[in-house]
Amino acid sequence: MPVRYATPDPKSLLPVPGVTLGIAEAHIKKPGRADMLVMAFEAGTKVTGVFTQNRYCAAPVTVCRSYLDYTRDVRALVVNTGCANAGTGERGVGDARATTQAVSAALGCKVQQVLPFSTGVIMEHLPMDRILAGIPACVANLAADRWFDAARAIMTTDTVPKAASRQIEIYGKRVTITGICKGAGMIQPNMATMLGFIATDAVVAQDVLDDMVREAAMLSFNAITVDGDTSTNDSFVLAATGKAGHPKIVGEGTQEYGALQLAINEVAIELAQAIVRDGEGATKFITIKIDQGKSRDECLKVAKAIAHSPLVKTAFFASDPNLGRILAAVGNAGIADLDPARIYLRLGDVLVAEHGGRAASYREEDGQRIMKDEEILVHVCLDRGVESATVWTCDLSYDYVKINADYRS
């Protein structure tokens, strides 16, 4: 059960002019479920993406990067679940290319105009006969209103499909942004992976789109963690079809640029938070806000030191205000000149620590009250600058171990 996240209403997911989606049951790992997706874009769509930093990156990530170096004039994405096509060497790259070749033949475009994505178990090869059989099925049912189906088709151990939409006005024209993703963040449930796809019909220059995907990723998918493992397949793609018909957004600083970036960020953050809410075994959704740091980077380090500490995460699972563990994690963030005497730690609205120790006003029952909630704010003030960062994470429960110990069996 995700923490306060329900299956989205399919009607709430707004079609994006210029985008169609088709799914198929390719029986890649299990029968009886859709496990392939083709997302097709009309000509003129601009696409950009950010990918995993893992050096053992998956074959589809290698292929995406090389195709995007060749052209941004992308006409389709092809996604499979059930097999990550990672740790598969040269044969894996050939399989990813063959997949895009088949899609390009079906859609009548160049092979480099189709980007491949995979998610699932590592170090197994794609079942190419089933993948190739699934492609015509996906293409045959391409439709604009399949975002919900698409969100379901890319799930691995996700317990709910994840999708979000926004509509805004730009130069008087209605602009839609709709996105889907699968979980579960940095943890990569079972080494399946984080995949996120957002499309809009906004009219934007390519460099603007490139900037927007980086800001959205920084504030959303790069700001979540379940257990600190970065997967081999992480990919986040932003596509703009240009069908909204407004004057092109060409640079930063305009109201329209800001409005579109904000709406894209909102969709990305909603999707990223959904991954944490549906993190493996999660029973708590935890927001970690660090402010008054010297740099965003040091704030992120402190936030992630807290978010990655198994001792902090198990204390949240137990609703135990064992808050010295948070101080220890802050001290362990790798910031050499951090002065504990200046730091304030708040849990929700309760001041827990100041002057290097427990706050005089702190009472255990106040900490206990906050810890019992399903959603918890950890707020650390470093008192040494003006920068800040926010990270979302979840607790570490028995079910986390169970899910990951049982995987594959």
In the complex with its own copies, which residue's Cβ is closer, 11 or 55? Answer: 55
Q: How far is the CB of 255 from its own copies (least distance, A)?
A: 39
- The HSE-up count of residue 31 (CA atoms within 13 Å, CB side) is 0
In the complex with its own copies, which residue's Cβ is closer, 165 or 397? Answer: 397
The catalytic position among 62, 88, 176, 193 is 193
Q: How far is the CB of 73 from its own copies (least distance, A)?
A: 30
**Euclidean distance between CA atoms 199 and 123, whole angstroms:** 31
Which residues, listed in sequence order, are joined to residue 224 by a DSSP beta bridge? 392
Residue 36 phi/psi, 5-degree rounding, is: -135, 150
Q: How far is the CB of 362 from its own copies (least distance, A)?
A: 9
Q: Is 34 exposed, middle or buried (0-12, 13-18, 19+ CB in 10 A)?
A: buried
For residue 67, give the 3-state DSSP assignment.
helix
- The HSE-up count of residue 110 (CA atoms within 13 Å, CB side) is 10
Q: How far is the CB of 98 from its own copies (least distance, A)?
A: 16
Q: Which residues lie below 8 Å from residue 125, measured CB to CB, with a gap of 6+?
A: 83, 85, 88, 91, 92, 95
Is 193 known to be catalytic? yes
In the complex with its own copies, which residue's Cβ is closer, 30 or 402? Answer: 402
In the complex with its own copies, which residue's Cβ is closer, 339 or 375? Answer: 339
Q: Output b/e per residue, 373-406; b: 16+ Cβ within 10 A.
A: eeebebbbbbebeebbbbbbbbbbbeebeebbee
DSSP structural state of residue 245: -
In the complex with its own copies, which residue's Cβ is closer, 85 or 113? Answer: 85
Residue numbers at the binding site for its own copies (CB under 8 A): 53-57, 84, 86-92, 121-124, 187-188, 190-191, 227-232, 308-311, 314-315, 317-318, 320, 322-325, 327-333, 335-336, 338-341, 353, 355-358, 396-398, 400-402, 404-409
Q: How far is the CB of 357 from its own copies (least distance, A)?
A: 3
List, by residue number, the catalytic residues: 193
